[in-house]
């Protein structure tokens, strides 16, 4: 399943980030998807925790965010953070949003789970630990988006909504859009309850069989990667322009933070986008 030609781990100075082949051609577009390696946090948040969790000292989080910016040659103050609520609210960010949520939770952009980016010099970041991080990039129009999609955001079609904004407000041709779907809890491990099963059937009446996996113990798993991919295909993205990283956070707790694996006491990984 894992195609190392399409994505790989970049490992340098103890850090480990995920890279996607289709973004390599565009040096003006910078991005990152972090892992849990090489930060300052300790214990169950060991070590590259980027979220202000009650279990971590804010100084560790700020130090980790500083080294993230430094590694990627991004000004620390350019980073922007959200107060995520599993919504499908999307913010079109500009330079007035610089440093929001950077030093404390209180001044983060509230009740929002994704961004559209059209300007250089700012780096919006979403946070995940089992939820799916999704990057959309249109190299022709120089527009990008980054979204946080757990089951709620996925079923609220946040990625599709972001794509529609790019199409309708910025004239993006979906055939030009490159999509990267990052690590999250995988179809192997993501058990869901009946109310979520019913919701998936309602939203995807023609395709739910591809998205829901019946397990022997009568439990059902949801494929969040396929569900996000499908909603982008439905709006005209070319399948060959979608790369799914296929790494399950729950299966690889030494590399990734997994909320479910750690029973809620865990750090957050960041996915950010930036135009130079």
Taking the complex as a whole, the smallest distance from the CB of residue 252 to Zn ion amounts, in Å, to 8
Q: Least separation, in Å, of the C-beta of 191 and Zn ion?
A: 10
Helix ranges (H only) for the chain are: 58-71, 151-155, 158-170, 194-203, 208-211, 224-233
Binding track, positions 58-97, relative to Zn ion; x by CB under 5 A: ----------------------------------------
The answer to whether 188 contacts Zn ion (rule: CB under 5 A) is yes
- Is there a contact between 97 and 122 (Cβ–Cβ < 8 Å)? yes
**Count of chain residues binding Zn ion (CB under 5 A):** 6
Question: Which range, of 35-43, 97-105, 140-148, 248-256, touches Zn ion by CB under 5 A?
Answer: 248-256
192 binds Zn ion (CB under 5 A): no
Regarding 123 and contact with Zn ion (CB under 5 A), the answer is no
Is residue 267 packed enough to be buried (19+ CB in 10 Å), middle (13-18) or exposed (0-12)?
buried
Strand-pair category, 269-275 with 123-128: antiparallel
CB of 245 to Zn ion, least distance (A): 13
CB of 224 to Zn ion, least distance (A): 11
Q: C-alpha angle 81/168/20, rounded to 5°?
A: 50
From 131, 223, 167, select the one nearest 145 (Cα to Cα). 167
Nearer to Zn ion, 185 or 196 (CB): 185
User: Does residue 239 have a cis bond before it (omega within 30 degrees)?
Assistant: no
Q: Which is nearer to Zn ion, 133 or 186 (CB)?
A: 186
Rounded Cα distance, 81 and 105, in Å: 8
Least Å distance, CB 233 to Zn ion, is: 23
Which residue of 251, 253, 255, 260 would you call a contact of Zn ion, by CB under 5 A? 251
186 near Zn ion, rule: CB under 5 A: yes
Cβ nearer to Zn ion, comparing 102 with 224: 224
Question: Which of residues 183 and 272 has its CB atom nearest to Zn ion in the complex?
Answer: 183
Question: Tokens 């946040």, residue?
Answer: 158
- Residues in region 138-157 near Zn ion by CB under 5 A: none
Query: Whose Cβ is closer to Zn ion: residue 250's or residue 274's?
Result: 250
C-alpha dihedral over 237, 240, 245, 248, to 10 degrees? 80
Q: Which is nearer to Zn ion, 186 or 267 (CB)?
A: 186
Does 158 engage in binding with Zn ion (CB under 5 A)? no
Q: Which long-range contacts (CB under 8 A, 24 or more apart) does 72-76 make?
A: 72/30, 72/32, 72/272, 72/274, 73/30, 74/30, 74/123, 74/272, 74/274, 75/121, 76/102
Using CB under 5 A, pick the residue from 62, 99, 103, 189 that binds Zn ion.
189
Distance of closest approach, residue 188 Cβ to Zn ion, in angstroms? 3
Shortest Å distance, C-beta 186 to Zn ion: 4
d(CA 224, CA 232): 13
Q: Which residues bind Zn ion (CB under 5 A)?
A: 186, 188-189, 248, 250-251
């Amino acid at each position: 399943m894992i195609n190392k030609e399409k994505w790989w781990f970049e490992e340098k100075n103890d850090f480990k980030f995920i890279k996607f082949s289709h973004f390599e051609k565009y040096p003006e577009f910078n991005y990152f998807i972090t892992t849990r390696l090489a930060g300052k946090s300790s214990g169950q948040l060991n070590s590259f925790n980027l979220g202000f969790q009650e279990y971590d000292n804010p100084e560790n989080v700020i130090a980790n965010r500083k080294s993230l910016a430094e590694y990627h040659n991004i000004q620390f103050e350019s980073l922007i953070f959200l107060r995520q609520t599993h919504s499908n609210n999307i913010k079109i960010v500009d330079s007035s949003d610089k440093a929001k949520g950077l030093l404390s939770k209180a001044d983060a952009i509230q009740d929002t789970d994704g961004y559209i980016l059209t300007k250089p010099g700012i780096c919006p970041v979403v946070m995940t630990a089992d939820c799916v991080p999704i990057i959309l990039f249109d190299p022709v129009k120089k527009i990008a988006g980054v979204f946080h999609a757990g089951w709620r955001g996925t079923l609220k079609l946040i990625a599709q909504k972001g794509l529609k904004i790019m199409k309708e407000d910025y004239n993006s041709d979906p055939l030009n859009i490159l999509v990267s779907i990052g690590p999250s809890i995988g179809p192997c491990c993501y058990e869901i309850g009946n109310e979520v099963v019913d919701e998936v059937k309602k939203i995807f009446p023609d395709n739910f069989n591809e998205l829901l996996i019946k397990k022997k113990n009568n439990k059902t798993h949801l494929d969040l990667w396929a569900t996000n991919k499908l909603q982008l295909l439905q709006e005209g993205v070319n399948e060959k322009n979608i790369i799914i990283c296929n790494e399950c956070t729950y299966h690889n707790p030494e590399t990734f933070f997994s909320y479910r694996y750690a029973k809620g006491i865990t750090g957050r990984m960041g996915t950010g986008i930036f135009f130079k």
